[in-house]
Amino acid sequence: MRRPNIVLVNCDDLGYGDLGRYGSTINKTPHIDALAAEGRMFTDFYTASPVCSPARGALMTGCYPKRIGFDSFEGRWVLFPGQGVGLNPDEITIADILQQQGYRTMLVGKWHCGDQQEFLPTNHGFDHYYGLPYSNDMGRQVGREHYPPLPLLVDDDVIQQQPDQSTLTERYVEQSIRFLRENQDHPFFLYLAHMHVHLPHYVPDRFAKQSQNGDYGAAVECIDWALGAIRAELDALGLTENTLIIFTSDNGSRGREGGSNLPLRGGKGTTWEGGLRVPFIASWPEHIPAGTRCGQLMTGMDLLPTLAAAVGARVPSDRIIDGENMLHVLMDDDPQLDDQRTFFYYQSSILEAVRKGDWKLHVYKWDTTVAELYNLGDDIGEMNNVWEQNPAVVAELQAELERCRNDIGDALTGNPGRNCRPIGRVASPHTLTDYDPEHPYIIAMYDKEDAG
């Protein structure tokens, strides 16, 4: 099997119900829907956290956030500008593995795994970087005047402060296409991490005018256009047949401002299904069966071992990796599904729920102990609590929770876990930018108060 080029598209806060193939009738996503028609879409794919930084650290390393110290950031849910913590340089990322296999690697878009020099993408396996180091609501904005100017980076250097956010997706596509052209004769890994649909929504006029779902729908349709542009370039370069394209999201939608996680319950920041179950589509012509649908429980942590297998690389053996090689699930015509895979739902440092097979047990929600059991096969919306009727299932899942607590910990019970690795730290952190009233910012202050 020839080693594939890899394009990984990761959206920001895109919900389970935001795409046509996943049930949306209001957002127009023809290019994403076409990718699903030409590949395989997954119905039970999970990110490792319902918020940005932990989910992205887990995606890169194949590990639960708590295992790599990414469960809490000096008491905050995600990383903020100038913090002295980030992804430990000793961690091994997808990009590290591919780079060691001779792949040219580039991240375009949002990083959010630390903004200090030691934590930037170029120190985690990426040859080049172009994008925002954290969320687009972490610049100078109405209601957030205390933030430093939003930095746009090229590799390790700030190239612009307070960029016009409505132009960023087009600029991301331009940088992506330049990378594809420059590396068409080499195996490559392009990680495109969109700004959309995180608040605030700044979208090009074209998409704002055609959207039937306000600025949110315009942001979704801008993401769709970007995929179409990149696929057209792959076609023009003759690279489509040997390129594995993966499309997903870092966590669920907020469920407001036009976003949808239907038919799931809850949204971003929660351990209901809507917080962590997200779209996942994979296409690789002649390798992944076209127009297929799969209900295997998979997670973002599976990507590291799966992509390693796709390129003939080994997974690091000197550390625990939580993800599993799921290449056969991507590629087989009729894959053998594992209906006993277990997945743990953390909110920050607290272990709140576990899924095994179709059963999901909740034990904690929003500072309250709960006793709730759902069969997701029959009740995807988590509406019918069957705890009392299934004591044996409850006992089995409680044992799984205790196993997880002993392994990587749980702040609720005070168990630190035996197998956690430290977050990266620097002694004298600083912000990448400082506000200068004399600087010629193109957008001195973003005018929308939306954040999240």
Q: pLDDT, tens digit, for every residue of 354-393?
A: 999 999 999 999 889 999 999 999 999 999 999 999 999 9
Q: Which domain holds residue 394?
A: 342-421
Chain CA centroid to CA 417, Å = 25
User: Which of 270, 302, 331 is the endpoint of a domain?
Assistant: 331
CATH number of 230's domain? 3.40.720.10
Query: Which residues, 6+ apart, have CB-to-CB distance to 63 below 8 Å?
Result: 57, 91, 301, 320, 321, 322, 323
Verify that 98 and 67 share a domain, yes or no.
yes
Inside any domain, residue 17: yes
Q: pLDDT confidence of 310, banded at 50, 70, 90?
A: very high
**Same domain, residue pair 267 and 395:** no
Please report whether residue 447 resides in a domain: no
Residues 133 and 36 in one domain: yes
Q: Which of 11, 52, 404, 420 is catalytic?
A: 52
Cβ-based burial of 367 (10 A; exposed 0-12, middle 13-18, buried ≥19): exposed
Mean pLDDT confidence for 424-452: 96
Residue 426 lies in a domain: no
Domain boundary residue, one of 290, 311, 331: 331
The per-residue pLDDT for 210 is: 96
Residue that is written with structure tokens 């977050």 in the block: 423
Domain count of the fold of the chain: 2
Asked, for residue 48, whether it belongs to a domain, the answer is yes
CB 65 within 8 A of CB 48: yes
Asked if the structure places residue 197 within a domain, the reply is yes
Q: What is the pLDDT of residues 233-248, one digit of tens each?
A: 999 999 999 999 999 9
Q: Which residues of 77-87 are buried (b: 16+ CB within 10 A; e: fewer)?
A: bbbbbbbbbbb
Which band of pLDDT confidence, cut at 50, 70 and 90, is reported for residue 96? very high
CA angle 302, 315, 240 (to 5 degrees): 60
Same structural domain for residues 322 and 348? no
Q: Which residues contact 189 (CB under 8 A, 6 or more apart)?
A: 5, 6, 8, 94, 95, 98, 99, 103, 104, 105, 106
74 is a domain residue: yes
Which two tokens mark 155?
């590799």
Pairing of strands 45-46, 298-299: parallel
Per-residue model confidence as pLDDT tens digits over 46-75: 999 999 999 999 999 999 999 999 999 999
Evaluate whether residue 415 is within a structural domain: yes
Q: State the Cα torsion 171-172-177-179 to the nearest 10°.
A: 120
Q: Tell me, yes or no, whether 173 and 92 share the same domain.
A: yes
Q: Is 112 a catalytic residue?
A: yes
| 320 and 347 housed in the same domain | no
Beta strands in 194-283 (DSSP E): 243-249, 280-283
Instruction: State whether the Cα torsion 313-294-10-224 is positive or negative.
Output: positive
CATH code, domain carrying 403: 3.30.1120.10
Rounded CA gap, 7 and 179, in Å? 11
For residue 129, the one-letter residue type is Y
Q: Does residue 360 lie within any of the structural domains?
A: yes
The domain boundary residue, chosen from 297, 331, 365: 331
Dist. CA 22–CA 41, nearest whole Å: 9
Given this model, what pLDDT does residue 346 score? Answer: 98
Residues 231 and 376 grouped into a single domain: no
Residues 238, 363: one domain? no
The pLDDT, as a whole number, for residue 366 is: 86
How many Å apart are CA 168 and CA 48, to the nearest integer?
Answer: 27
Residues 9 and 56 occupy one common structural domain: yes
Q: What is the pLDDT of residues 171-220, one digit of tens each?
A: 999 999 999 999 999 999 999 999 999 999 999 999 999 999 999 999 99
User: Exactly one of 11, 31, 63, 112 is catalytic; which is it?
Assistant: 112
Q: Are 111 and 193 in contact (CB under 8 A)?
A: yes
Give the chain's mean pLDDT. Answer: 97
Whole-angstrom Cα distance, residue 31 to residue 37? 10
- The answer on 386 and 322 residing in a single domain is no
> pLDDT at position 1, please?
67
Average confidence (pLDDT) over 255-278: 97
269-294 pLDDT, tens digit each: 999 999 999 999 999 999 999 999 99
What the block records as the tokens of 393 is 């299932």
Q: Residue 58 carries which DSSP code?
A: H
Say yes or no: 75 and 136 in one domain: yes
Buried b (16+ CB within 10 A) or exposed e, 281-303: bbbbeebbbeebebebbbbbbbb
Q: What is the pLDDT of residues 144-173, one digit of tens each?
A: 999 999 999 999 999 999 999 999 999 999
In 33-167, at which residue ranges do the beta strands (DSSP E only) sit? 40-42, 45-46, 85-86, 104-109, 128-131, 151-154, 157-161
52 in catalytic set: yes
Q: Which residue has the higher pLDDT, 392 or 256?
A: 392
Question: Amino acid identity, residue 114?
Answer: G
Q: What pLDDT is stored for residue 2 in this prediction? A: 82
Same domain, 327 and 348: no
